Chain A
Amino acid sequence: MDDQAAVSIQSIESVYRKRSEDFFRLALARTSDPDRARDAVQEGFARAIRARIGFRGSGSLEAWICRCVLYATHDPRPSAALEEPREADDWKPTISDAEVRAAVGRLPAPQRDVLFLRFYLNYDYLTIAETLGIEVGTVSATLHAAREKLAQALEEVAR
């Protein structure tokens, strides 16, 4: 192991111990598939280890790793995001769950990501901005737009 690297593997492991479960929820929300979500978390951290030399400490390590996990959730299939969940042993979505899923799925991807990072990881605006590589001001506006759009969508469903 390379202790001279910009980030030590131990630092990455510390983030893993502390946050991998939250990252799993984030990946699950994005992929709708527990197996793919698990794979994304494992692969995201593995990528972070392989690319740790490239981390220069300009932002938080966790945000940088989170970006690796988000990248790992990407699927070549264009409609993969927020598809109907695969029938897992202990996961039987109800109709209302499916409606929520559909409403969230109709959000533009940047709005979805900001919403997910805020909700599942409880990130502040600065960390969301670091993770997604956007301006802090954009985070606030995007989050507001996402909540408003989702509220409207769910209201329409409720009628």
Chain B
Amino acid sequence: MIFDDDVLNRLTPALHWKPDWAEVLERAGEVDPRRQQPWARRRLILALALLAAALVLLAALAVASAWR
């Protein structure tokens, strides 16, 4: 009998492999920069909103002072 390597396929029936790199990074204790990005964007938006609010407040104060 001639051994055919293809017989080894029987040890690994076709099962769907779902890669999950983010999970690998999590297991390794690393942070996925692509997951970090939305948070960074949200922080930037929040900072800009706070700055805008502060400017509006200052402008309002300035206007109120000028009226006196």
Contacts and interface: CB of A to CB of B under 8 A. Distances in A.
Contacts, number: 84
Contact of B12 (A17, A28, A50, A154): A28
A42 B2 contact: no
B61 to A, nearest CB: 45
B13 A49 contact: no
B67 interface: no
Interface residues of A, number: 42
Contact of B8 (A38, A46, A49, A115): A115
B33 interface: yes
A49 B24 contact: yes
Q: How large is the interface on B (under 10, 10 to 19, 20 to 34, 35 or more residues)?
A: 20 to 34
Interface of B: 1-3, 5, 7-8, 10-13, 15, 17, 19-21, 23-25, 27-31, 33
Interface of A: 1, 9, 13, 16-17, 20-21, 24-25, 28-29, 32, 34, 38, 42-43, 45-47, 49-50, 88, 90-91, 93, 96-97, 100-101, 104, 115-116, 118-120, 147-148, 150-151, 154-155, 158
